[in-house]
Amino acid sequence: MSKRIYIFDTTLRDGEQSPGVSLNVNEKLEIATQLARLGVDIIEAGFPIASEGDFQAVRMIAENVKGPTIAALARISPKDIDRAWEAVKVAEKPRIHTFIATSEIHMKYKLQLSREEVLEKAVQGVKHAKRYTDDVEFSPEDGFRSDLDFICQVVEAVIDAGATTINIPDTVGYATPEEFGRFIAEIRRRVPNIHKAVLSVHCHNDLGLAVANSLAAIANGAQQVECAVNGIGERAGNTALEEIVMALHTRKDYYDYYTNINTKEIYRTSKLVSRLTGMNIQPNKAIVGRNAFAHESGIHQDGVLKERTTYEIMNPEMIGLVQNSIVLGKHSGRHAFKKRLEELGFKLGQEELDKAFKRFKDLADRKKEISDRDIEAIVESEIRRIPEKFQLEHLHISSGNRIVPTATVGVKVDGELVEEAACGEGPVDAAFKAIDKVAKINVSLEYYNLSAVTGGKDAIGEVTVKVRHGDRVFIGRGISTDIIEASAKAYINALNKLVYEVDEAELEKEE
C-alpha cells in the first residue's frame, strides 16, 4: 500500500531568507492562505525571535490559517522557544521547531561548544518546548556533515526528551543522493526509538541536488520533506515543493508514495510566491517555468498534436495551468469575465470585481485578445493592493536619442493632486525622479525588471522593482501596455508599501 509523505513548507521561513526577499505581514498571510489551499501539511510561518515583524506574521498566520499545522522556528535557547510559542500558541495545530548544530565545524567555530554541551542543550531545549506543546520538531543543523555516531546519539536523546519529528538537514547542500539516502537509512537503523518520531529531511540546493537528495531520503525511510515553493531559500535555495510533489505524483509507479497536495493549485501558488517575493521564475524551471510545457521543435509539436504523451509526461492541467479556447476581448461582458475569473480560481468581492472589470475593459481597448495570463496579471498586480497613499494620475514623457529624457507626473497624495517634473538618464529614470520629488521619501532603487506577460506587440509589460529604505527592502509591481507607465506604477506600489509599513513619525524625522 502506498505511503503518505508529509509536506512541510518553509517558503515563509527559509524561503524568506533568500537574498533580497522581504514580505510584509499581509503578504505572508496571503501566501499562507494559499499554502493551506494547496494542501501542505505544515507551514513554517517564520522565526519569531528574529524580528517584531516575523513575530507578528507568525501570530497572524497562527490566528487565521486553518488546516495545516503552523510551525515556528527557534534556536535551542529557552528565550527563543518562549518567543516561538508566544507567536504560534493560538494556532489550531501549533508546532515548535527547534534546532542546534551538530557538525564538528559548526560546534567548534560557530557555537564554541563541546559535543556534551550540545547534547545537553538539545535535550533541555526539547524538554522546554515540550512544556508548551506535544508537537515538537528537532533539527540537528548541518546534520549531513555531522559525525554519524554523534547525530544518532543526539537524535535518540531528543526523542526520549519528547521530540515528535526529527528533521535531518543538509544545511549547506553538500550531499549527493546515494550518500544522503545511506545517511538516512543508517539513522533509521541505528536509532532504537526512531519509530516514535516522524523522520524528516531538509535539503539545500547548492549543488542542484536538493530534490534528488530528498527523493533518495524518501526511498530510505524519510516521511516528511521540507521544501519551498519555486525552490526559494538561503543561497541556492531549498527543495522545490512543486518538483518533489510532481516527481512523487508522476512516478508513482516507481516511488509508490502520495502527498496531500492538490496539484491543481501548484501553478497559482508558484505565481503568487514569485509575484510577492519579486523572485522571477527561470523560463526552463521544471514544472512551473514558462517553457515547462512549451514544445518548440516541429517534430515535438507534431508528436504532441498526434498524441500528447509522446513528449509530455505531465498534463499542464494537473498543475492548474488551464488553456482556454474562448478568447476574451473588448466585446466580452461582465458575466463572461466573472466566469473566467472563477475558472482561474479567483474569488473576488463585489468591489474588487468592479475594479477588475474596469481594468479589463481599459486593457481590452488597447489589446485585441485578453489571455488568462493578462487576467491574472490584472488581479494580482492591480486589485489586491494595500492602501494607496500615492496614486498615479497622469504621466508625460519626452524622450529620444538626441534629447534629455524628461518626465512630468501627476500623483494624488492622500487624494490631492501634486505635479512634478524631472530629467533623467532615460525615461524610466526621469519618471522615478519626478515621483521621488512628489513622495519626498529617501529610497534607492535596488532592482528593476521588465517582462512581457504574454507575447505579441500589444503584450502587457510587467515591471518589478525593489526599493531600499534604510535596512528594509520593498517590492513593487505594475502592469500596463506602456512600459514607462508600468514602471511608474511599480515604483509607486513599492512606495505605498513603504509608507504602509514604516512609521509615519519616522518618515517625517527624515524629511
Question: What is d(CA 464, CA 21) in angstroms, rounded to the nearest whole number?
Answer: 13
CB closer to Zn ion out of 166 and 364? 166
* Residue 376 CB neighbours (<10 A): 20
Q: How far is the CB of 253 from ligand KIV (least distance, A)?
A: 32
Q: 269 in helix, strand or coil? A: helix
Q: Is 141 in the site for ligand KIV (CB under 6 A)?
A: yes
Residue 399's SS3 state is coil
- Site stretch for ligand KIV (CB under 6 A), options 167-175, 301-309, 407-415, 457-465: 167-175
Count of residues that interact with ligand KIV, criterion CB under 6 A: 9
The residue with cell 530510505 is 220
Please report, as residue ranges, which positions from 71 to 100 form the binding site for ligand KIV (by CB under 6 A): 99
State the minimum distance, in angstroms, from the CB of residue 446 to ligand KIV: 25
Pick the piece of the chain touching ligand KIV (CB under 6 A) from 26-34, 163-171, 305-313, 417-425.
163-171
Helix (H, G, I), strand (E, B) or coil at 131: coil
In the bound state with ligand KIV, the residue whose beta carbon lies nearer, of 129 and 498, is 129
**Exposure string over 220-251, b if 16+ CB within 10 A, otherwise e:** bbbbbbbbbbbbbbbebbbbbbbbbbbbbbbe
Pattern of binders to ligand KIV over 204-233, x per CB under 6 A?
A: x-----------------------------
Which of 14, 80, 242, 436 touches ligand KIV (CB under 6 A)?
14
CB of 97 to Zn ion, least distance (A): 11
Report in angstroms how near the CB of residue 208 gets to ligand KIV at its nearest. Answer: 16
Q: How far is the CB of 278 from ligand KIV (least distance, A)?
A: 22
Question: What is the nearest approach in angstroms of ligand KIV to the Cβ of residue 16?
Answer: 11
Does the protein bind ligand KIV through residue 171 (CB under 6 A)? yes
Q: Which of 87-113 are b and which e, b meaning 16 or more Cβ less than 10 Å from the residue's Cβ?
A: bbeebebbbbbbbbbbbeebbeeebeb
Cα separation, 344 vs 268, in Å, equals 9
**Cβ closer to ligand KIV: 203 or 499?**
203
Q: Which three cell numbers stand for residue 362?
A: 481599459
Return the ∠ at Cα 354 (arms to 349 and 359), rounded to 5°: 125
CB of 125 to ligand KIV, least distance (A): 13
Beta bridge partners of 495: none
Cβ-contact 294, 325 below 8 angstroms: no
DSSP string of 139-165?
EEETGGGS-HHHHHHHHHHHHHHT-SE
- The residue (of 202 and 497) whose beta carbon lies closer to ligand KIV is 202
CB burial string 330-340: b at 16+ within 10 A, e below: eebeeeebeeb
Q: 237 or 405, CB closer to ligand KIV?
A: 237
Decide if residue 14 touches Zn ion (CB under 5 A): yes
Which of ligand KIV, Zn ion, none lies near 106, with the C-beta cut-off 5 to 8 A by kind? none
Footprint of ligand KIV (CB under 6 A): 14, 99, 139, 141, 167, 169, 171, 202, 204
Footprint of Zn ion (CB under 5 A): 14
